[in-house]
Amino acid sequence: MVIKPKIRGFICTNAHPVGCAENVKRQIEYVKRQPAVNDAPKRVLVIGSSTGYGLATRIVAAFGGGAKTLGVCFEKEPSERKTGTAGWYNTAAFHQQAGEAGLYAKTINGDAFSDELKTEVIEAIKADLGEVDLVIYSLASPKRKDPESGDVFSSTLKPVGQSYTTKTYDTDKDKVHEISLEPATDDEINNTVKVMGGEDWERWIKALHDAGVLAKGAKTTAYTYIGKKLTWPIYGHATIGKAKEDLDRAADALRTQYTDVQLEAYVSSLKALVTQASSAIPVMPLYISLMYGVMKEEGTHEGCIEQTYRLLSEGLYAANPSLDDAHRLRMDGHETNDQTQAKIETLWHQVNQDNFHQLADYEGYHQDFLHLFGFGFDNVDYEQDVDPLVNW
């Protein structure tokens, strides 16, 4: 089949297997060009391993530290007529490359929120790895089925306390326009915390600990975005921000609960980037396009792979990592520092429909968006017939 991007709103509904493999290969090549990560973990579990920050972390652990990696993701497999999701093809490409490098890789595709999947992962750890030294929690999901009650909770992207009117960029219509977002109800806030907060991370760690598969001195981290003034009303201080605050609570609880294995638990704050999760958040495409332009000019722009390489080498496995006052690892400083934010803010106030393409790096944003699904690579022939049935 010849595969061309099918973009619907903020999502692309298909993916290109060869392009996804290229995306993975480029990240692996980046890591191989860096010095190996010192004291790197050797057995790593990545929950949310197939795209975005989780995939990048898996690549750093494997190719920058020589780790055996066990991944968990929720992806659709391809059929004769329909492509698989990008995460499916990314995982297949990762397995292929890891195999060629002699690195153990196993991926379990299913609902990470369920108890059944946790049991399956523990069985795989016992059979293949014995224990794990690092657990990455990198899920981004719009809903979660509570394994105890069976209730399904949905997350919402809304401000908290008061309505908020701001600019946004509609990627579908190529339009900068105003949007007004109504404040979330208490239920919407609580449900978002239920989906994206720390509860499931804690359940994972408890299950791993109780099964005796958390190595002594193991580390775990969950990912957050803190951002600054421009994004606070829709992110940091909004429903998703409340869920992220709950990660801080969970990290504290994990640190005090699992002293028998000297577990180190951190929330890691990463920069805003184009991923499947972030393109769904109102305001973010506009903010990210402006921010990309500013950071590229400053020479500080990074993607998922650069961020997660630094997270392991300068954060999680550094001798004296710097932590903020909430005990978080901060990899977002190049974005959130006052000078960079001031430049983005100036552009934010100026940007409108007429000057958007001059002021913002939408080209960079759009290219990253296409790359997420394996499109837009200059060395991939998109006219070629390709077999969508790729497996791992």
Residue 74 is assigned to a ligand binding site = yes
Hunting for tokens 């390709």 — which residue is that? 386
152 assigned binding-site residue: no
* Nearest approach, Cβ of residue 259 and ligand NAD (Å): 26
**Tokens for 323?**
């932590």
Q: How far is the CB of 272 from ligand NAD (least distance, A)?
A: 4
Please identify which residue in 138, 168, 221, 341 interacts with ligand NAD, judged by CB under 6 A. 138
Candidates 295, 290, 294, 297; CA nearest to 306 is 295
For tokens 């003034």, the residue is 229
Q: Rounded CA gap, 53 and 256, in Å?
A: 27
Whether residue 194 contacts residue 146, with contact meaning beta carbons closer than 8 Å, is answered with yes
Find the shortest distance in angstroms from Cβ 1 to ligand NAD: 23
In this chain, which of 63, 89, 94, 113 binds ligand NAD, going by CB under 6 A?
113
List the interface residues with ligand NAD, window 196-215 (CB under 6 A): none
What's the distance, Cα to Cα, between the start and end of the chain in Å?
Answer: 20
On whether 273 is known to bind a ligand per the annotation, the reply is yes
Q: Is 140 in the site for ligand NAD (CB under 6 A)?
A: yes
Using CB atoms, what's the residue nearest to ligand NAD?
52
For residue 140, say whether it is annotated as part of any ligand binding site.
yes
Name which of 53 and 373 has its Cβ closer to ligand NAD: 53
User: What secondary structure does DSSP assign to 166-180, as a single string?
Assistant: EEEEETTTTEEEEEE
Q: Which of 223, 235, 362, 365 is catalytic?
A: 235
The answer for residues whose C-beta is within 8 angstroms of residue 204's C-beta and 6 or more apart is 47, 112, 118, 135, 137
Q: Which stretch binds ligand NAD (CB under 6 A): 34-42, 166-174, 221-229, 349-357?
A: 221-229
Which residues are registered as beta bridge partners of 106?
70
Q: What's the rounded Cα separation, in Å, for the pair 218 and 66?
A: 17
DSSP 384: S
- Give the whole-angstrom CA distance, residue 87 versus residue 100: 20
Nearer to ligand NAD, 1 or 77 (CB): 77
**Residue 150, number of CB atoms within 10 A of its CB:** 7
Q: Which of residues 344-373 bind ligand NAD (CB under 6 A)?
A: none
Q: Catalytic residue at 317? A: no
Q: Which of these ranges, 66-74, 92-100, 125-133, 383-391, lies near ligand NAD under the rule CB under 6 A?
A: 66-74
Q: With respect to ligand NAD, which residue has the nearer C-beta, 74 or 104?
A: 74
CB of 84 to ligand NAD, least distance (A): 12
Q: Is 112 annotated as a binding residue?
A: yes
From residue 42 to residue 61, what is the string marking binding to ligand NAD with x (rule CB under 6 A)? ------xxxxxxx-------
Both tokens of 17, joined, read 């297997």
**105 bridge partner residues:** 69
Binding residue for ligand NAD (CB under 6 A) from 74, 104, 232, 382? 74
3-state secondary structure of 192: helix
Cα angle 172, 83, 90 (rounded to 5 degrees) comes to 90
175 belongs to an annotated ligand binding site: no
Binding-site members for substrate are 225
Binding site for ligand NAD (CB under 6 A): 48-54, 72-75, 87, 111-113, 138-141, 223-225, 270, 272-273, 275-278
Binding-site members for NAD(+) are 48-53, 74-75, 111-112, 139-140, 244, 273-275
> Mind telling me the catalytic residues?
235
